[in-house]
Structure 1
Amino acid sequence: MTDSHVSTHDAAPDARNDDIRIYVNGEIVHRDEAQVSVYDSGFLLGDGIWEGLRLYDGHIPFLDAHLDRLYEAALYLDLDIGKTRADLTQAIWDTLDANGMTTDVHIRLMVTRGRKKKPFQHPHLSIYGPTIVIIAEHSKPDDSVIERGISLFTVPHHRGLPLTQDAKLNSHSKLNCIIALNHAVRAGADEALMLDPFGFVNTTNACNFFIVRGGAVWTSTGDYCMNGITRQKVIDLCMTLDIPVFERNYSLVDTYGADEAFLTGTFGAQTPVFMIDGRVIGGGKAGPVFHRIRAAYKKLVDEERS
């Protein structure tokens, strides 16, 4: 087991975060005063949904797509957010303005079913809801991870069928992913590579996973993983760039023999993978397809801002 690990969420410490102000149910207060009840559905049961957003140069890329996913999840969960999209968007900007934030910010938007009357499971006990919290932190991704890469370890914990808990839900119930990550860290890796219920390569505990073989980009079918906004943008970019891209079932045999591998997520955008289960991928460096996609994604984000 190694002493230190790389993460797709690595960022340099920023002292400004010691005094940030947080949105809690309509009030924006200092982080030391931000409180949620111990009776809250999210605390008691993980009964909530969330989105991770980025602020780049005064703009939040793909905000509409994130809100689409949030409201779709709320509909599925019978969770009344209690705010229109316009109102929720304004709350995000109010939080950013209260902190004087303009760029290199990570935003965590969380909605739970709210405070319960009693500490039990039934949704009808959540009579004081919903609870909405927005945490915005100064957080710039550590670009040195492009040179260091990420190592993965395939864990026995898989992403389950939708009839148990649909992995497409960005829910507060992340215990399956946390257990998977702990398993990988104990094996000396940075993150966990998770399979689907049939043994095909699926995703990691925190990000979507891609490989490159013969110049073509492969990712999972998306049936058993969070269909990330960045994941879809990469698929769309591949089509624009005439890079063959496939959403398909594939195994560890295909993965170990890949020319390149990388992860996608809102915070780190694209992160190269250099090792999987002790096997070096792509000579232990970021490959040409990765760099081409990363450059195109950066351009896309810049165009969103204009």
Structure 2
Amino acid sequence: MVHGTHNALEDSRNDSILILINDELFPRNEAKISVFDSGYLVGDGVWEALRLHDGKLVFAKDHLNRLWQSAKTVGMKLPFTKEELLEKVSYVLSANSMTDGVHVRIMITRGIKKTPSQDPRLTISGPNIVIIPEFKRASTESKDKGITLFTSTIRRGSPDYLDPRLNCHSKLHEVQALIQAIEAGADEALMLDVNGFVSTCNATNFFMVKNNEVWTSTSKYCMNGITRGKVIEVCHANDIKCVEKDFSLFDVYGADEAFVTGTFGGLTPVIKIDGRTIGSGRYGDMTKKLSELYNELIKSEVKNG
């Protein structure tokens, strides 16, 4: 099994899932889209991923707000409302008899092109929407064992050329960063911003703990992760000092603990960065506490939703 924050337990039910493509259901091995699709041709699309807990799509409002903002940013007009999109998600979940332990990926591209081209004026259809639901639970191995990071030479983009907050299909720079990390023997990549400060990871947000304070980067050059925001929220609600600031690898190497956050894995401890052991090299007490508080927030969301 590949070790990292996206480790999932094997589930044979995923072999026969139904996938929604433009309001039509297809078996997994028959779910296809045109080679003239904008997302395939030039990475012209936006996406979101949500978790289904006890029949509730957790933090759905936050995810949909981010999706709509991404679509507006790339000049893509969505031909449905947020409520209508949630109805589509509910439809595919119901078709698969899914109620818990599910990861839902929503992908929307600009549409079909007349010919291979970047030009959006050559799009001859409305947006294509694909919804992939999978029975997907995070492996506990990542939390128990922790993950290792390697600092990539690939920097997080500046907001004036590819804003890191944009959840788009163009992820090649993140793939490049991850490849560097894998080749260096690490699980995932830590990425710096254009000024050399710690930004985020290739697919998750980064936090460190020093003297019982929780540090994360400013929002200028990192992904605006939903889980990142919720961790900051639970810190403030529980009198845990959490600061968003510029800090460098100098600070990181001396951290007491470090962890990363993401929709799928929640909080995952980081035990080593660039070959240097972080803190005790184990799942730290603050990380455990924040993970428990985050899980309590999810339970509250489900109960009150």
Q: TM-score range by the shorter chain?
A: over 0.9
The AA in structure 2 aligned to 1:304 is: E
What per-residue deviation string (whole Å, max 9, x for no partner) do you get for residues 216-243 of structure 1?
A: 0000001111110000000010001111
Deviation of 1:294 after TM superposition, in Å, equals 0.6
The two structures have a TM-score, normalised by structure 2, of: 0.98
Q: Distance in 2 between matches of 1:191 and 1:33?
A: 32
Unaligned runs of 5+ in 2: none
The AA in structure 2 aligned to 1:35 is: K
> Is 1:211 aligned with 2:208?
yes
1:290 matched residue in structure 2: 287
Instruction: Kindly report the root-mean-square deviation, in angstroms, between the aligned alpha carbons of the 2 structures.
Output: 0.8
The AA in structure 2 aligned to 1:218 is: W
What does residue range 84-103 of structure 1 map to in structure 2 within 5 Å? 84-103=81-100
Deviation of 1:146 after TM superposition, in Å, equals 1.4
Instruction: Determine which of 224, 228, 237 is the counterpart of 2:221.
Output: 224
SS in 1 for 2:179: helix
The two structures have a TM-score, normalised by structure 1, of: 0.98
> Is 1:49 aligned with 2:63?
no
1:180 matched residue in structure 2: 177
The AA in structure 1 aligned to 2:105 is: R
Deviation of 1:144 after TM superposition, in Å, equals 2.0
Contact 2:145 2:283 in 1 (8 A): no
- Deviating 4+ runs (over 4 angstroms): none
Q: Report which stretch shifted further, 116-125 or 257-266.
A: 116-125
Q: Distance in 2 between matches of 1:87 and 1:28?
A: 17
Instruction: Determine which of 261, 272, 295 is the counterpart of 2:258.
Output: 261
Deviation of 1:80 after TM superposition, in Å, equals 1.4
1:38 matched residue in structure 2: 35
Deviation of 1:21 after TM superposition, in Å, equals 0.2
Percent identity, aligned pairs only?
50
What per-residue deviation string (whole Å, max 9, x for no partner) do you get for residues 52-87 of structure 1?
A: 110111111100000000001111111012111111
SS in 2 for 1:164: coil
1:26 matched residue in structure 2: 23
Deviation of 1:280 after TM superposition, in Å, equals 0.6
Instruction: Determine which of 106, 112, 116 is the counterpart of 2:113.
Output: 116
Q: Distance in 1 between matches of 2:2 and 2:300?
A: 34
Q: Distance in 1 between matches of 2:206 and 2:102?
A: 24
Unaligned runs of 5+ in 1: none
Q: Distance in 1 between matches of 2:204 and 2:81?
A: 29
Matched residues, number: 303
Deviation of 1:202 after TM superposition, in Å, equals 0.7
